[in-house]
Amino acid sequence: MGIAVSKKHGKAVQRNRIKRLLRAAFTENCSILSKPYDIILIPKVMDDYSFHSFKDSLSICFKKVNQWQKD
């Protein structure tokens, strides 16, 4: 997994917080993936970043990847 957070997201403290949240959300959702994948996470610029929003987004994305793989 790779994480790319640009300077558009704020100063270093804010960017590091986003990276920590993404890592935690990925760790909780990685069991959804059926096969190993190389993943690069690039968050969109938002007003408020939360663990639950990242977790929900990754969950939806990983389910779509698994569904696509089965087809």
Structure confidence by residue, pLDDT tens digits, 10-64: 999 999 999 999 999 999 999 998 888 899 999 999 888 999 999 999 999 999 9
SS3 40: strand
Confidence of residue 68 (pLDDT cuts 50, 70, 90): confident
Question: What are the extents of the domains in the chain?
Answer: 2-70
- Looking at domain 2-70, its CATH class is alpha beta
The structure tokens 């389910």 sit at 63
